[in-house]
Chain A
Amino acid sequence: MKSAVIVFPGSNCDRDLAVAFRDVTGKDAAMVWHGESTLPDGIDVIGIPGGFSYGDYLRSGAMAARSPVMRAVAEAAARGVAVIGVCNGFQVLTEAGMLPGALMRNATLNFVCRDVDLTVANSQTMFTSQYADGQSIRIPVAHHDGNFSADEATLDRLEGEGRVAFRYAGNVNGAARNIAGIVNDAGNVLGLMPHPERMTSDAHGGTDGRRIFEGLFSALA
């Protein structure tokens, strides 16, 4: 099982994501700089990490979404390679058009940094198979622009097609329909604002996030 983590100038959760990948697979993830135009051969999983890529210039994730490596990521995703974007990674994936909607400034205007309760909205995705539908899990968030926004038709479609993977149990940032994470129509690209990689060992205070990675890598094994 081969994984890669994309690194942009301003990424700051790239190492955390790589450690989560390594803990579950037993192999080091390839760290791929944003200026690369190709990915290592045979990659099964690509992680787009949290952080403040390009200083959040223009819009969060906007510059990163147009970087050379993202063309390779989009091509890999189109071939079925699994992609998980966390926090800024979710913003990058929406800006790249790989996931619908947009992440707006939190409705409270505050940077929200705390553990939040999530509900697993669909346990049938390749990322959520180790949870049960409706299961409550606790994972930290740390973001200023996590207010998921899309038009009503898009929201209805996401819900109707079971593409909402996670919801906030309460209002965290004003996100439409409390959406915390969604998958693309093919089901191989997940974007979520909470940080599962920060909840993968008892030393983190819990392992609720670890099952995303365990589920994903076992689904691909």
Chain B
Amino acid sequence: MKTRVIVTLKSGVLDPQGKAVHHALTGLGFDGVNDVRIGKIVELDLADGTSEAQIDEMCRKLLANTVIENYRIEQA
């Protein structure tokens, strides 16, 4: 069973990488980009029957740092 965990920076946390990419997009002539935030996707191949609670625990214990990041779980 394929599952995706999407990790994003919490709003209000400065994302210098996103700012730099935003700047580069503007430099390439892409107008109208209001903001860029960069996160990461973790693709998990899990044994059937892995519970949402277990995946949530994986996120809290390792995949995301909840001091600065949010996460959401998407079943493929």
**Which A residues from 159 to 185 make CB contacts under 8 A with B?**
174
**Which B residues from 1 to 46 make CB contacts under 8 A with A?**
13-14, 16-17, 20
Q: With an 8 A cutoff between CB atoms, is B62 at the interface? A: yes
Q: Do A109 and B17 touch across chains, with their CB atoms under 8 A apart?
A: yes
Within the complex, the shortest CB–CB distance from B73 to chain A, in Å, comes to: 17
Q: With an 8 A cutoff between CB atoms, is A218 at the interface? A: no
Of A32-40, A100-108, A201-209, the one with at least 4 CB within 8 A of chain B? A100-108
Q: Do B16 and A95 touch across chains, with their CB atoms under 8 A apart?
A: no
Q: Which residue of A lies closest to B61 (CB)?
A: A66
Q: With an 8 A cutoff between CB atoms, is B67 at the interface? A: yes
Q: Which residue of A lies closest to B40 (CB)?
A: A58
Within the complex, the shortest CB–CB distance from B7 to chain A, in Å, comes to: 9
Assess A58 versus B68: contact at CB under 8 Å? Given A104-B14, A107-B14: no
Q: Mark A45-88, 1 if CB is under 8 A from B, else 0.
A: 00000000000001100100010000000000000000000000
Total contacting residues, chain B, CB less than 8 A: 11
Across the interface, B68 reaches (CB within 8 A) one of A66, A109, A149, A174, namely A149
Q: Do A102 and B16 touch across chains, with their CB atoms under 8 A apart?
A: no
Q: Do B62 and A109 touch across chains, with their CB atoms under 8 A apart?
A: no
Across the interface, B20 reaches (CB within 8 A) one of A94, A100, A109, A149, namely A109
Across the interface, B65 reaches (CB within 8 A) one of A59, A106, A107, namely A59
Within the complex, the shortest CB–CB distance from A102 to chain B, in Å, comes to: 4
Q: With an 8 A cutoff between CB atoms, is B55 at the interface? A: no
Query: How distant is the Cα of A106 from the Cα of B63 in the complex, in angstroms?
Result: 21
Q: With an 8 A cutoff between CB atoms, is A1 at the interface? A: no
Across the interface, A108 reaches (CB within 8 A) one of B16, B63, B68, namely B16
| Best-surrounded residue of B13, B61, B62, B63 (most CB of chain A within 10 A) | B62
